[in-house]
Structure 1
Amino acid sequence: MALPASLPTLEACSTGNLTRVDNVFVSRSLREDVVQCSTQPEDRPGKTDHYPITTTLEWDVERIQEEPRRNFRDVEWKAFRDTLRAELEADGGPEHVRSVDDLKKLYAVVMAAVDKAIEAHVPISNPCPHQKRWWAPELKPLVVQRRRMGRRAYR
């Protein structure tokens, strides 16, 4: 048992009594890695009676070195389009595609123009190893508000 015996895991909706109906079991080999196992009553979602249970494990995890990549969220798109248009007009390419060779030439011209526009206007970002790709900065106030409301409801 990783969860200490004295911690309640449920607040009965009808009576408000605190009880323990949930347990956290771990294997013997994993038990040595458990740092903490606890309930988080203040983080309980609305319309539920069970408390969230958090378990902290001490593990060595190999870090993957991520390479810097382009951050397309921070692009000034008007300038990007202007550069792309200028590059496409400057390089030209075949006016009509009449053969496979013409298509390959046109493809090379378009890709070179796109690459130049990307180099000029798309900044490079160094990704954080803990980053969540779905996260957006606009979500931060909503998370803060949800946590604040959860703590207030717990009091």
Structure 2
Amino acid sequence: MDITAVHFAGKHGNLSLFNIYNDCTHNKVLTLLSLFLSSSIHLMRPLPGDHMLWVGDFNHHHPLWEMPYNKHLNFSREYIQLLLDLLADHNMELTLPPGIPTFQSLADNWTRPDNIWQSHANTDPIIFCDVDVSLRPSLADHLPVITKVELSIPRSPTMSAHDFHSADWRIFHKALTERLHTTSLVCLITSKAEFHEKVADITVAIQEVIATDTIVPLQKPCLHRKWWWNNNLKWLKAQRQHACNQAYKFRNIPDHLAKVEVACLSREMDSSICEVKEDHWKEWLDTINACQIYLANKYAVRKPTNFAYDRVPDLKMVINGTDTIVSTNAGKAKALAESFFPPPLLPFPPG
């Protein structure tokens, strides 16, 4: 889907966020956005003080946001007028400051196809909006745009947990042995009560060693962490982030050494990720049981081209009284919409 929208409502009021991708060869997405807002703006902004954000790759170039040296990329007035009219009709303002490039072409030319727009209001919910070159993925041509929005939404606290993956098990074994020698000596167990007491002593000793942060480090849980991620990739990422910052800083200097370093580190990180993923896959295959063979086969034979489709399995819905399997994106979206948002019940007739 080229348009994704999410609506936030709370003490801060209402905030509607549109994630938009507009193809560079046509304005169909912008036309759909115009039709939707013309009929549903009261849902997106119920009150005059509510906010609306448009973010994404608009694939439009204009002097309002494009760099002066890219004036040859500016679109004709007929082609860009639809976007300009939309911005004017809904009183949208540029959030990402003009002149900041977001895309690096193969010819090492920096352009601005991506944009962030916000509706004009008495209060500004945007705290920060800028590109972060250090977060640019390897072999990617677009720069990440970081936008911080002030939303007074309560969050559950994130508790730190021990990172057993990074623990030094040789030090752990040595510390546990020393602790057991002082707190739980080897003895002959003659009763059930002595057995439970010995188990409790060993459990306490293990937990005390785990609680030592120098042996098993603490870390906050990350929702996006990958099981195959390791310290070598972490080091490569840090080196590449530094090189990306330098290359972006000296982007106007042709053949700067930082650009070569970014290319080399990007290729090295990409190949390292592929190797680590393959090793993790083989290690997982060696440890699966009989019940997981079908799952392994599913992972092996299913090569996704649309990752949104790969995450949502085929759905079953009733059409004209007949059970029907839905496999297309449009059909899945319709099935989910009808399931979560059924039509309202008709009121009972009076009397």
Q: Same fold (TM over 0.5)?
A: yes
- The separation in 2 between residues aligned to 1:70 and 1:11, in whole angstroms, is 40
- Equivalence for 2:142: 50
- Equivalence for 1:3: 96
Q: How many residues align?
A: 139
Q: CA distance change for structure 1 residues 19 and 138 in 2, over 3 Å: closer, same or farther?
A: closer
- The separation in 2 between residues aligned to 1:147 and 1:27, in whole angstroms, is 33
Q: CA distance change for structure 1 residues 65 and 37 in 2, over 3 Å: closer, same or farther?
A: closer
**How far apart are 1:76 and its partner, in Å?**
4.3
**How far apart are 1:48 and its partner, in Å?**
2.1
**How far apart are 1:140 and its partner, in Å?**
6.7
- The separation in 2 between residues aligned to 1:43 and 1:89, in whole angstroms, is 53
- The separation in 1 between residues aligned to 2:162 and 2:131, in whole angstroms, is 40
- The separation in 2 between residues aligned to 1:108 and 1:26, in whole angstroms, is 64
Give the CA RMSD over aligned residues. Answer: 4.4
Secondary structure of the corresponding residue to residue 186 of structure 2? helix
Q: CA distance change for structure 1 residues 109 and 140 in 2, over 3 Å: closer, same or farther?
A: same
Q: CA distance change for structure 1 residues 25 and 107 in 2, over 3 Å: closer, same or farther?
A: farther
Deviations 1:30-61 (A, max 9, x none): x8321121123465334222111111233556
- The separation in 1 between residues aligned to 2:194 and 2:120, in whole angstroms, is 65
Structure with greater strand percent: 2
Identity, in percent, stands at 24
- Equivalence for 1:37: 129
- The separation in 2 between residues aligned to 1:56 and 1:9, in whole angstroms, is 17
- Does the 8 A contact of 1:10 with 1:50 survive in 2? yes
Q: CA distance change for structure 1 residues 70 and 46 in 2, over 3 Å: closer, same or farther?
A: closer
Secondary structure of the corresponding residue to residue 114 of structure 1? helix
Asked if 1:150 is matched to 2:244, the reply is yes
- The separation in 2 between residues aligned to 1:70 and 1:48, in whole angstroms, is 33
TM-score by length of 2: 0.30
Instruction: Give unpaired runs (5+ residues) of structure 1.
Output: 96-101
- The separation in 2 between residues aligned to 1:143 and 1:115, in whole angstroms, is 38
Instruction: Give unpaired runs (5+ residues) of structure 2.
Output: 1-53, 55-94, 214-218, 251-351
Q: CA distance change for structure 1 residues 150 and 83 in 2, over 3 Å: closer, same or farther?
A: same
- Equivalence for 1:23: 115
